[in-house]
Chains A and B, each alone.
Chain A
């Protein structure tokens, strides 16, 4: 059974930083691109970015709204993907989900950016 468990969310001040983790199991993690998607309260789904596999040189791509502020990385030895978020803004407040390339989703972790 595929399991994706996000962690690391919390309350952070505008301009601050936070690093999210997503621990994966139940599939071949090293062979799967991994994505982050976010959802503000009562709103729709917004793709944040993705990291590809080692064969694809761990290539990353980001939504325009986070490009230059967010960084996705992965540790295949620990079956974990990370989302490092810098220069956070109030509009980054959302539940952050990780997904694999077969579009299985974790339960999400809430990030609140507020003073």
Chain B
């Protein structure tokens, strides 16, 4: 299985400041045939299901505010929130869907307000 490791496990950022979450995969999730990274980011608020934010590593889901952005390729990826808002308090997960028979998630990063 591809192991997804997020860092940090938890993060406290001041309102209006930048938040950065990293995700590293144990093997590349880049498909060279189509140049796509099979990497998604989710936001999960307390008591709610996960919400898709980013897919193909950097494509923002419809309706997601543009303060959320994804970057990276191969094995190293980043989710950036450019200006933290109070409603962004949540747990964030990365996910690889490169291996369709063994989809895996990172352990999650808890984001709080400082």
Contact = CB atoms under 8 A, between A and B. Distances in A.
Interface of A: 33, 35, 44-47, 50, 61, 63, 97, 102-108
Nearest to A61: B101
Given A45-B50, A61-B102, 8 more contacts: A45-B95, A46-B105, A50-B103, A61-B100, A102-B52, A103-B40, A105-B50, A107-B49
B108 interface: yes
A106 B102 contact: no
A47 B50 contact: no
B67 interface: no
Interface residues of B, number: 19
B49 A97 contact: yes
Contacts of B112: none
Nearest to B93: A45
A103 B49 contact: no
Nearest to A63: B102
Contacts of A33: 100
A97 B44 CA distance: 13
Nearest to A95: B49
Nearest to A103: B52
Nearest to B50: A105
12 contacts: A35-B103, A44-B93, A45-B42, A45-B105, A46-B105, A50-B103, A61-B101, A97-B49, A103-B55, A105-B49, A105-B52, A106-B49
